[in-house]
Amino acid sequence: MSAGDSCHNLAEPSLTTGLDPSVRALRHYVALVGPPNAGKTTLFNRLTGLRQKVANFPGVTVEHHIGKARTTAGREVFLIDLPGIYSMQPRSEDEEVTRDVLTGAKEGLGQPDAVILILDATNLHRHLLLAAPILSLGLPTLVVLNMADDLAKRGGSIDPAALAAQLGCPVALISAATGQDVDKVQQFLEGSSARPPATAKRVELPILQDLPGCRRWAGQVGSDSGYSAPAPPIWTRRLDSVFLHPQLGPFVFLLVVISVFQAIFSGAQPLMDGVESWITVSGNWLGAALPEGILRSLLIEGIWAGVGSVLVFLPQILMLFLFIGILEDSGYLARAALIADRTMSLVGLQGKAFIPLLSAYACAVPAILSTRTIENKRDRLATILIAPFMTCSARLAPYLLLIGTFVQDRPLLGPFLHTQTAAMLGLYLLGFLAAIATAQLLRSTVLRRQQSVFVLELPPYRMPNVRSLALRLYDRAFVFLKNAGTVILLVSACLWILAHVPYKDGQPAKLEDSVAGQIGHAIEPAIKPLGFNWKIGVGLITSLAAREVIVGTLGTIYGIENADKDDVNLQQALRKDLTPAGAGALLVFFAFAMQCFSTIAVVRRETGSWFWPSVQFAYMSVFAYLSAWGTFVLLSR
């Protein structure tokens, strides 16, 4: 773009052919763009609420959010939350996607009809550098100065009208976290596709390739707009002196992790008891309402026992996501990445890999997708290959079941650390150490390269936004329940059928003689050295679809076995089939094995071949088997 191009050189509205049919019908969408940590996603969540979904851009697996926003006049407009960028010269695939969408180069997706550029009002001189290339696109643009409350609290100021005159486009000073003046954004959305008058002021923009010139332009525009930078956040400096201390920082991080898991075990128990009671009462009611027969057996012994045994862990999983959300929104997790860089650099990875690895504690699939922010391809591939070692939320269900069954909960370090919490932390540590060891192996052999520089912008500490946390928990609960209502339900139903066929003389086969029993007995010799019997073997096979399925599988198996009893206690049944040594081996196996078809498929797509996912699956399976065998032998002594 040449100097002199302005935000009033408008493009014709384009067809959004790459989106879902409802977006194509509207023929209108607005892109949200801005630097990382500017509050872009917070504004998106406030504008769209629950009317949003996650999708992939056409042709790539970079995720984005699509949502419906309602204007002040009641009109609905589609918004797309793009990955954060610092400039229009991308260094990663995430940034490349954002540039291609904004310029209309993304295949199957037309150029946006308008742009909302979100900048941090407390860092305006630096963030204004992004305004020049965005305005040069010639699209209707609203510049949003976010964090107005923080700016005023710290003694800063800006004249939005003066800045609008400097930029030649509307400017809104808002707080996405509190909702202050967000109605100005909704007003812009109402007329975002309208062409401005021909007499609109043209604004001279710097030549984009001239970085020093862009910096001078950004400084001059800020000064002419009456911008007064806020005082440095005192509490940020004070907290960083502790959290980023070379010795004290890692110790504080360890205390935070221990506190989170202790709270998960103690705080979620009443909620788990409530869910379990509801499942029992509703199952008894449903059983009493249905006549004896195959349908009743399928629903109660198969589906209800299988799905219900997994649903009981939903409170603990949501509590984990709540704490992660609080730590992320407060700004602490960025500091954790900086602390982790010191450790990860020892194995040849940079601190930026910490963010995907951290998100892998939720799910390996989005973690692998988020590696697109890593510029170096060897670093990215190494991160992809080790991400499944991190303890994802799918592992929580079998972990919680086995720990609750075989580990007696008693104080280990007074009220600060209990044995069950220590066992869970040990499993998380095992996964992390396996990931680090594998990274070291990769970096010293097939993925050897020079060490790269890690650069990270640390946001100021902020109070987490309750609305954003609630939306995040709603999203995770929806995903969990959707999985329980599809994958786990389907596996439970299929397993019930396999556990009853073949029929003889109109009667179902005994569990040991059924197809499921025969499959379990066929693999029992291979898993017997680990302390597992054929029932656990059936669970290992079904859990290849998703790790948490093993809990539903065992719930279905024991539900069928104990169909004549009023109450099936899964923990009591497990104690009959597993010794403590076998339970320890099963926990270690789940810590290392790659039991997730979705992860395998994503690795294949991200690496472009079946070679790496095949190597990854084989390596993790062998590693899990040998580690489980060693654990069983050690604990059996």
Which secondary structure element, helix H or strand E, spans residue 141, and what is its range? Answer: strand 141-146
Question: To the nearest whole number, what is the mean pLDDT of the chain?
Answer: 80
- Tens of pLDDT, residues 550-595: 888 888 888 776 654 434 578 888 898 899 999 999 999 999 999 8
- CA–CA distance, 611 with 129 (Å, rounded to integer): 42
Which secondary structure element, helix H or strand E, spans residue 605, and what is its range? Answer: helix 597-607
Of 231, 250, 284, the position where a domain reaches its end is 231
Give the domain CATH number at 142. Answer: 3.40.50.300
Number of domains in the chain: 2
Q: What angle do CA 457, 462, 464 make, to 5 degrees?
A: 115
> Looking at the structure, do residues 505 and 579 belong to the same domain, yes or no?
yes
DSSP state of 252: H
> Looking at the structure, do residues 305 and 209 belong to the same domain, yes or no?
no
> Looking at the structure, do residues 187 and 280 belong to the same domain, yes or no?
no
> Looking at the structure, do residues 102 and 176 belong to the same domain, yes or no?
yes
Please report the sign of the dihedral spanned by the C-alpha atoms of residue 331, residue 333, residue 335, residue 341: negative
> Looking at the structure, do residues 286 and 214 belong to the same domain, yes or no?
no
Range of the domain at 47: 21-231
Q: What is the mean pLDDT of residues 358-379?
A: 74
pLDDT band at 402 (very low <50, low <70, confident <90, very high): very high
> Looking at the structure, do residues 117 and 171 belong to the same domain, yes or no?
yes
Q: Any idea of the CA torsion for 530, 534, 536, 540, to the nearest 10 degrees?
A: 90
How many other C-beta atoms can be found within 10 angstroms of the C-beta atom of residue 297?
Answer: 18
DSSP state of 52: E
- Tens of pLDDT, residues 468-526: 788 878 877 887 777 667 777 787 788 888 888 887 776 778 878 889 889 999 999 99
> Looking at the structure, do residues 31 and 144 belong to the same domain, yes or no?
yes
Task: Please indicate, yes or no, if residue 7 is contained in any of the structural domains.
Answer: no
- Which pLDDT does position 426 carry in this prediction? 92
> Looking at the structure, do residues 134 and 276 belong to the same domain, yes or no?
no
- Tens of pLDDT, residues 254-284: 888 788 777 776 777 788 788 878 888 888 8
Give the SS3 label for residue 77: strand
Task: Please indicate, yes or no, if residue 434 is contained in any of the structural domains.
Answer: no
Q: What is the mean pLDDT of residues 521-541?
A: 93
- Which pLDDT does position 108 carry in this prediction? 66
pLDDT band at 15 (very low <50, low <70, confident <90, very high): very low
Q: Edge-to-edge, what's the strand order for the sheet holding 114-120?
A: 52-56, 63-70, 76-81, 29-33, 114-120, 141-146, 171-173
Please report the sign of the dihedral spanned by the C-alpha atoms of residue 377, residue 382, residue 385, residue 391: negative
> Looking at the structure, do residues 208 and 297 belong to the same domain, yes or no?
no
DSSP characters for 30-48? EEEE--TTSSHHHHHHHHH
Task: Please indicate, yes or no, if residue 323 is contained in any of the structural domains.
Answer: no
Task: Please indicate, yes or no, if residue 252 is contained in any of the structural domains.
Answer: no
Percent of the chain's residues with pLDDT above 90: 20
> Looking at the structure, do residues 172 and 286 belong to the same domain, yes or no?
no
- Which pLDDT does position 19 carry in this prediction? 43
Task: Please indicate, yes or no, if residue 330 is contained in any of the structural domains.
Answer: no
Place of tokens 């892998």: 360
Spell out the long-range contacts of 212-219 with Cβ–Cβ below 8 A and sequence spacing 24 or more. 214/129, 214/132, 215/129, 217/132, 218/125, 218/126, 218/128, 218/129, 218/131, 218/132, 219/125
CA distances from 398 to 369, 403, 493, 587 (A): 25, 8, 20, 8
Task: Please indicate, yes or no, if residue 343 is contained in any of the structural domains.
Answer: no
pLDDT at 6 over 50: no
- CA–CA distance, 490 with 40 (Å, rounded to integer): 38
Task: Please indicate, yes or no, if residue 239 is contained in any of the structural domains.
Answer: no
> Looking at the structure, do residues 586 and 491 belong to the same domain, yes or no?
yes
pLDDT band at 351 (very low <50, low <70, confident <90, very high): low
Task: Please indicate, yes or no, if residue 205 is contained in any of the structural domains.
Answer: yes
> Looking at the structure, do residues 200 and 290 belong to the same domain, yes or no?
no
